[in-house]
Amino acid sequence: MKKMKKGTAYTVQAALIAAIYAALTYAVAPLSFGATQFRISEALTVLPGFTPAAIPGLAIGCIIANIGSPYGPIDILLGTVATVLAALATRLTRNIKIKNIPLLSFIFPTVFNGIIIGAEIMMFTPGQAGIVGFFTSASGVALGEIVVCYTLGFLLYIGLEKSKVFKKLGD
């Protein structure tokens, strides 16, 4: 197979990641939004460890996915901010590995989404104001993130690492 040019491969990777993220979010839409989220698309947050194209890919995918959010435009903005911060941190820590797996980088979606989306949900949920409301919302979001990132994300990482698919594409 002929290698793609670097710019073309980057654009194709980003576009595919965005499309897959949005499609997976909508595929399990009832679970993708709310106080406790099991957004299976968050498994893709391991991808910045393989390619920098995952950063804009995840951001655009999040924008598209959050168009359907019950929290409206604020979720498009804050969800994307959380996603970009997590993707950048994941990319920056990709080489810190435990037994050849960047386990530390898997935590950033949990941290950023837990804090940012937890605060957002607290603001929009009646009776959730204050520190207890924040911790309740943040914990619910973080729980879903940690389950998805350390199960599905872990499995995705192992599969991609073994396949060397991103190396074959010229990244």
Which band of pLDDT confidence, cut at 50, 70 and 90, is reported for residue 40?
very high
> What are the residues whose beta carbons fall under 8 Å from the beta carbon of 79, sequence distance 6 or more?
62, 65, 66, 69, 113, 116, 117, 120
pLDDT beyond 90 at 80: yes
pLDDT digits (tens, 9 = 90+) for 88-116: 999 999 999 999 899 999 999 999 999 99
pLDDT beyond 70 at 19: yes
How large is the average pLDDT for residues 8-16?
Answer: 93
Q: What is the pLDDT of residue 1?
A: 41
Distance CA 30, CA 165 (A): 32
Which pair of tokens denotes residue 64? 């598209």
Residues β-bridged to residue 101: 98
Distance CA 43, CA 152 (A): 5
